[in-house]
Amino acid sequence: MQKTADAVIVGGGVNGVSIAYNLAKRGMRNVCVIERDYLASGSTGRCGAGVRAQWGTEMNLRMSMASVRMFENMNEELAYDDDIEFNQGGYLLLAYSDEGFEQFKKNVALQRAHGLEVDLLTAAEAKEIVPHLNIEGLVGATYCPTDGHCNPFKVTDAYAKAARRLGAKIYTNTTVTGIRKENGCVCGVETTRGYISAPVVVNAAGGYSQDVAAMVGLEIPTYSERHQILVTEPVEPLQKPMVMSFHHNIYCQQSPHGSFIMGLGDPTEKPGYNIEASWQFLQEMAEKITWLLPPLRHLRVVRQWAGLYNMTPDRTPILGPVDEVEGFYLAVGFSGHGFMLAPAVGVLLAQSILGQETPIPLEPMNLSRFARGELFHEPSVV
């Protein structure tokens, strides 16, 4: 393995390879990614594969809108020899209380001010978009037609291939065991295949970000939490948009392949690293989804799995450099939406590392926001 690098990225998920590609594209010659298992083996490959711009804070909104535009042109931009399977069937978000609907109105005002095409709908209008939706108790909804679905494995593969063509190296089956620093600056990464000296180290370790930060003696407020998903057999096209209810903590989308992917958030889930699927999830999902979308009762579940959300106290990612250790950068705490933000995160982190001006300011998303008490309040997370 190589002995030196200009930058080492810890984590071969979609954000790690997106950052690697963007650094290489901007002229950094010697970039490498260290991945403990195989690419997209962690949170990226376990995610619900949804892509949306309907967020409630300006930062998430701006990053996700930029990402949607990049997904639209990604096959060409990355000269991908396959297809990332980006399908814009929209997202229908449901409100079951006046309070929830008031929040949606605020979100839509913010989203429209930033140029997002999004509509506030009555329950009856929501049913026109998804005719099999049970609208009992539904107060209203929002709908954005450019939201959708994309294949996380293919996106990771596309970035990895493009990064390699530009000279980046990706080491899979290689574990980072330590990070060395000297006089407050990072100087290299110890791995199971040897030491690489590097002036820049990026923590893109997903569910294990807090452990990688601890390797430089940095305490960050991220923690991991299991979230579960299931997928059904593929059927004929039945439901165009993702249907999401924050009240029920549920999302459900038919993929272009025909299968339905559905996930639930469990408010009683304890922080930890458990990624085993449970039968309790299957039972709860069956109850909730057959109430919300009744015809889905006829579908067969073929597989369930789980993955980690890397959470922050304000459910917004932590991005950019840190004051405590020079050369150490964070792309962590995506709180369940790291896949859909990865195109923008790659650009922003690369620009930040190279000392270039970023089109979206990164400072508000730095780690120091917690010390300053300047937290975001993202209202729209399942």
Binding test (CB under 8 A) with another protein, winner from 144, 289, 345, 347: 289
d(CA 223, CA 30): 31
The least CB distance from residue 114 to another protein, in Å, is: 34
Residue 114 found at the interface with another protein (CB under 8 A): no
Nearer to another protein, 65 or 243 (CB): 243
Nearer to another protein, 74 or 299 (CB): 299
Nearer to another protein, 20 or 61 (CB): 20
- Give the binding range for another protein (CB under 8 A) out of 116-124, 152-160, 206-214, 217-225: 152-160
Residue 302 found at the interface with another protein (CB under 8 A): yes
* DSSP string for residues in 108-133: HHHHHHTT---EEE-HHHHHHHSTT-
Do the Cβ atoms of 286 and 134 come closer than 8 Å? no
d(CA 4, CA 32): 9
Residue 187 found at the interface with another protein (CB under 8 A): no
d(CA 113, CA 115): 5
d(CA 143, CA 338): 21
The least CB distance from residue 299 to another protein, in Å, is: 6
Binding test (CB under 8 A) with another protein, winner from 4, 134, 257, 374: 257
The least CB distance from residue 260 to another protein, in Å, is: 10
Say how many C-beta atoms besides its own lie within 10 A of residue 4's C-beta. 13
Binding test (CB under 8 A) with another protein, winner from 122, 192, 283, 356: 283
- Give the binding range for another protein (CB under 8 A) out of 7-15, 149-157, 212-220, 323-331: 149-157
Residue 112 found at the interface with another protein (CB under 8 A): no
The least CB distance from residue 207 to another protein, in Å, is: 16
Say how many C-beta atoms besides its own lie within 10 A of residue 155's C-beta. 28
Tokens of 341: 């933000």
Residue 40 found at the interface with another protein (CB under 8 A): yes
User: How many residues sit close enough to another protein to count as binding (CB under 8 A)?
Assistant: 32
Residue 238 found at the interface with another protein (CB under 8 A): no
Helix (H, G, I), strand (E, B) or coil at 265: coil
Binding test (CB under 8 A) with another protein, winner from 296, 331, 345, 365: 296
d(CA 55, CA 47): 18
Tokens of 27: 């002229």
Residue 303 found at the interface with another protein (CB under 8 A): yes
The least CB distance from residue 339 to another protein, in Å, is: 14
The least CB distance from residue 298 to another protein, in Å, is: 6
Residue 235 found at the interface with another protein (CB under 8 A): no
Residue 149 found at the interface with another protein (CB under 8 A): no
Nearer to another protein, 79 or 109 (CB): 79
**Which has the closest alpha carbon to 100: 140, 153, 147?**
140
Residue 301 found at the interface with another protein (CB under 8 A): yes
d(CA 141, CA 92): 7
* DSSP string for residues in 37-53: SSTTTTHHHHS--EE--
Residue 299 found at the interface with another protein (CB under 8 A): yes
Nearer to another protein, 177 or 283 (CB): 283
Tokens of 197: 């000296």
End-to-end, the C-alpha distance of the chain in Å comes to: 41
Nearer to another protein, 199 or 234 (CB): 234
- Give the binding range for another protein (CB under 8 A) out of 37-45, 132-140, 197-205, 213-221: 37-45
352, 357, 358, 360: CA torsion to nearest 10: 130
Pairing, β 50-51 against β 148-149? antiparallel
d(CA 262, CA 304): 10
Token pair 């730095």: residue:
366
Residues that bind another protein (CB under 8 A): 38-41, 45, 153-154, 157, 231-234, 257, 277, 279, 282-283, 285-287, 289-290, 296-305
